[in-house]
Structure 1
């Protein structure tokens, strides 16, 4: 059977086995600084090129376009379309700006979208490694490559958002604020910090015997919730869910009353694991989101479902998104570390 051994979260031997993964998380802030610094000249070139006129529309292409949509839709002063398909909308042309995130640079769909955009004469800004498949297809008079090297999705997104803010198409996305927010989470969730003062270890312990149900109220918090649930599924193999309140409420409402006499070691398959509600709070005060949150909290209370909170107070929406995402990813790694076969 699989069980959670919280002593491993402070054990030197166990932590050493996860050193590479935890070190990668700790370097998140430095990757943001590195990507934005390395692309500074290319960003300046793209800003200068875009200064003459505002595009008719912005099309975010490639599989990572949904992150840009979560950031830009409430702000962008021109029509914005997230288009994760390998082609572009039929109406896209020389009046439109196409932005593509390709942190790995090998994605065939992103390469196809970039090539089609260049062929149609669109203004194109693509963030990718300069020697990648996507870069090879990004050849055109109106194309600018923002060179990346870390293959980090968030760092690549911050690079593109920095450009979009400078051309008044996106909200403030100060790279330094994002990097500082990531550094603060890395310090708070460091493997060297004891369980009693480490929020990510405490969250992992709370989820050690549960199936997480993750919710975020704002568009970016909801995006972070989906990414955190993906990380938990990958590290634990458990059925972590993320979604809108209307989709998560039935899960909470179907939870059976807790059996205080149940033996947690009696079921080797772990079939009686209960859900645990994880709320990602980025400080958004939208009335609809607040009402949905109250409904989830009420359902959790009525069905004796544990509720855990992850809060972000960084400066700026993107920085708060980054903080929530990294906090949840740390917790997923500590969950992986604590689960043992016995």
Structure 2
């Protein structure tokens, strides 16, 4: 992982709030790299020999399920059906692979799903915090555990993306060895690190794309054209809302049609509060549209990146959108 002064105390011994907010975000490249190293293990190699009926991905967090759907959009077509949920479906059995992902140490529902899946004979893969009830339950049922970074504790969309990518790629029978998947993820980790360097709190608004995104307040609608771009918009909407910036997401074609109804209404100069209906609250909040991995003339903000591989572009945009959350509370963004 590339490190910088955002992870160290200031001269006075206190921590810069931006450095603290950016700490977990700065580990996104390392999160991917940890999964890449896991791909070199014997346990991961065993996944390459399986031919499951389905893959069941369990994420208790809404943003985590959105990130899993984004990964699936990038990976399609897959060799088997993929089911994404927050709880174990009734059909889960010995022919299925269950992948449980959460940054939490404890979650009763996820722990119960892990234990139940193992009892039903499912192959179980768990990516969670290094200590806690989830990790203990995973060990008790001899699940395949994806190693976690010891210090990073916050949400990690990059980790969700990397774990789901690793499992789905290992099940792709055009892949000869899990180590090949690890090599692909190492490249993705480098892309995440480069993006995070550009989004560092040490860089000001003029050259920092994450700070520029953080300036968008009021009503924010994330959008995109195509399955991957829309899935990325859904992920950003869920992630930004989780960090206090209420957002929505919508497919670009539908949003273009809806824009006239979403635009703030002009104040009637003859408005009389004693006789007229109160104006719409839309007049109080500006509208911002963020178009991911797409280009439209009507979009207020467009976020894209030139990359030779779609997966690498998505990884960079995930890092950028997540980095923006560090600046939500900054007065100067």
TM-score range, shorter chain: 0.7 to 0.9
**Counterpart for residue 44 of structure 2:** 46
Is 1:61 aligned to 2:73, yes or no?
A: no
**Counterpart for residue 227 of structure 2:** 219
Deviation at 1:140, TM superposition (A): 7.3
Alignment of 1:118-267 (within 5 A): 118-138=118-138, 143-149=143-149, 150-151=152-153, 152-168=156-172, 174-205=184-215, 207-208=216-217, 210-233=218-241, 237=244, 239-245=246-252, 248-249=255-256, 251-254=258-261, 255-256=263-264
TM-superposition CA deviations, 1:149-208 (whole Å, max 9, x none): 344342254134224313317996822122112112112222222332222233334x25
Deviation at 1:278, TM superposition (A): 0.8
Q: Distance in 1 between matches of 2:228 and 2:190?
A: 18
Q: Distance in 2 between matches of 1:258 and 1:203?
A: 26
Deviation at 1:51, TM superposition (A): 4.6
**Counterpart for residue 277 of structure 1:** 289
**Counterpart for residue 9 of structure 2:** none
SS in 1 for 2:306: coil
**Counterpart for residue 30 of structure 1:** 30
After the TM superposition, list the runs of 4 or more consecutive aligned residues in structure 1 that deviate by more than 6 angstroms. 169-173
Structure 1 residue runs of 5 or longer lacking an equivalent are 1-14, 262-268, 284-292, 301-305
Is 1:84 aligned to 2:77, yes or no?
A: no
Is 2:98–2:125's contact at 8 Å kept on the other side of the alignment? yes
Q: Distance in 1 between matches of 2:253 and 2:315?
A: 25
Q: Distance in 2 between matches of 1:231 and 1:100?
A: 19
Structure 2 residue runs of 5 or longer lacking an equivalent are 1-14, 176-180, 270-280
SS in 2 for 1:100: strand
TM-superposition CA deviations, 1:46-89 (whole Å, max 9, x none): 322x354411222222334453343236221112222322x323
**Counterpart for residue 273 of structure 2:** none
Alignment of 1:300-339 (within 5 A): 300=298, 307-338=300-331
Provide the TM-score with structure 1 as the length reference: 0.71
Deviation at 1:97, TM superposition (A): 1.6
Is 1:70–1:220's contact at 8 Å kept on the other side of the alignment? yes
